[in-house]
Structure 1
Amino acid sequence: MGTNQSMHVRLQKKQKMTQQELQRQYQRNLSEQQLAEQLSARQALENSTSFARVAQDLKQIPGINGQAPSVIASTANNESFYHQRTTTIQSSTDARAGRQNFRWIDGRRHHNTEGAPYLLPNDIDEMDRLHLQHYVIRHAFGGNTRAKFDGKIHKDVLDVGCGPGTWILGKFMFSQMSTEHTETNFTGIDISAVWPTEIRPRNCRFQVVNAIEGLPFEDNTFDFVYQRFMIMGYPAKSWPFIIQELVRVTKPGGIIELTEIPVVSNANGPELTRVMDILEQGCLAKGLDTKVARKLDGLLQQAGLEEVKACHASIPVGAWGAKVGQLMRENSAGIWSSLKGLIKELAELNDAQYEAMIKRIFIEYETHKCYINCYCAWGVKPYPKESSTSASDSLSPPASSDATPSSPPTNHAAVV
């Protein structure tokens, strides 16, 4: 009798597992169908009349060869395209105010969180640009991290300012951190919930967080903390506090890695120089630190980290820089589209004047062989010492956000 009961229990368990597998398969098929529909919608957008017009206009620019970067497409269809992808891109909402937490500037959607100065949009076009930017930076630095990442040691990882989650997931989840390190748990946080909600590995989770207000995690939670491209998101006065928060949530022996690009490019022509000066003054007026990229190692050292290292990669912008330069030019096109409203206001330009200015800048990319420097710094959180002072004392922020750090070693990793 006992044997029959045991066989019956095993049969029930097997049937239950089969039902669960069928349900999971159904969800996978549904997600794949949704993904196919989204890709089809993207293709339809790029084949639209507005996109074709932009491609025609760009034929006169040397080095473009009539191929318009995908992120230059007119934003006229941006809202309708956004609604076609609501299954994978989740709008951020402000639960306390009971309203959608975004605003529109010159046809682009931005977050609307009080006290957070982030200047770039959070719409579909910007997410596409961030996907592209990730692969350029990954190639320039030779991997997803500059610090040594070990999945056997780094079991809990935090990505601060994760955006659409590209560093964790990759675009459509191919060959990135979460799939390469399946035993590691990844947490991504951002001020806007623009990450995939339908298709993602089980070892990933995402959370809406405004890092300027502090991180909602216990002390010593993560083995590896990664943050990049927040130069337009954090006020200058907030950087020491945010670094202190990153240190607080990192386990002793854990690693913090920071990556930033300053609000400046190099080997500029006169048009690009003028525009970058205008943009820098606009950022300073909003309380941002346009040169924090060169201070990353100093901030980590002042926060008490050990074994701090820094480097930078020089990345070409333009067809003169071969494939990487072409991709960086496309990323630049997305940046100019994202900053259009701000720069038009600062420079007092209309649409036609702005477009003419961008065309001149694209010519200068080739004639002046422009490039950007991307800076990276990382360090290790020390283990507490028996005779050391309290943790709050050891993690005190620097006296001034304008303190001059040591210069990072030169590491020209330009890929041309």
Structure 2
Amino acid sequence: MNEELLRELVPAVIGILVRRGADFASAEDAVQEALIRALDAWRDDPPRDPKAWLISAAWRRFLDATRSESARRGREVAVDAEPPPGPASAVDDSLQLYFLCAHPSLTPSSAVALTLRAVGGLTTKQIAQAYLVPEATMAQRISRAKKTVSDVRFDAPGDVATVLRVLYLVFNEGYSGELDLAAEAIRLTRQLAAGFDHPEVAGLLALMLLHHARRAARTTPDGSLVPLAEQDRSLWDTRLIAEGVDILQAALARDQLGEYQAQAAIAALHADALAAEETDWVQIVEWYDELLALTDSPIVRLNRAVAVGEADGPRAGLKALSELDEKLPRHRAVAAYLHERDGDLVTAARLYREAAEKAPNLAEKEHLTRQAARLNQKLVSGDHG
């Protein structure tokens, strides 16, 4: 049984249970129980109608839980028989589930966990393993998240920008343990795009595909980072690039520019260059200007400084960088790169070393340490070329 196809049914099944009268938290629990049963029971004998099987199994689980709770409180069970499904749109229910799981009242980590479980159909154990936390800790996080949104109307209007931020958070976790979160984020964004015609949803999907296309070239076999300019572009997935560009062009044609479309346009320009020296840095700077007009983000300004350094020379890049707070993440790494481009190897080596000390992860720390060592070796040997 294809687990991914099975998990695609989860949002619609939760929606149907809610339409039948279950509260969101109970419906989500019941569907999770049914999903776990299905993964085992369907291995050798999958049903003809997987969705109907899941609905039936989850509804029975909900009824059992309701009866058990009612008996514990000495009350009669309010719901005794399975009602007809009634008119309910699986697409609409799935969309509302995205909005609910990314509700603004939730912390980003809680929204991510709830989205992966209720929309993605992942088990608590899988999510915990992906985020390297104990299963009990993740279970508490999900339980608190469900309690937080328990009073939110299931059909209340949602904020698509919040949903997209949550999906992008999932994507940026990349690959962890046995779970490919980047691929899972792409799957969920495809699912969202299929039921919600919005240019920024398309923009995010295009951005994910364009970034994911370069994945095989980003690291060496031993896990070392490979900078974009040094990547083997023959390893890039041209099929994903073509799909991402097509989706982006259709979104841009609607003339409703958003931050994800602008980021995807920058990624597309990188993907379009057959070699690093063919990159259209002037146009990339223009897209960063568009992105700044939308977000005014200091991180965008930092990335723009790199692009300016490539388009107009390292000193222009350093001038743009001088306007930014030195405490910004990766500020020293960018400064080191631009100083190296400008021929100041002593300053560049020192900044690479300082950047390594503040690196957010081991792979980046090792990469920056190697850059510092490389420049120091040049200085010792007298090779400043």
Q: TM-score, normalised by structure 2?
A: 0.26
Larger relative helix fraction: 2
For CA contacts below 8 A with separation 6 or more, give which structure has more relative contact order.
1
Provide TM-score, normalisation by structure 1. 0.24
Bigger Rg, which one: 2
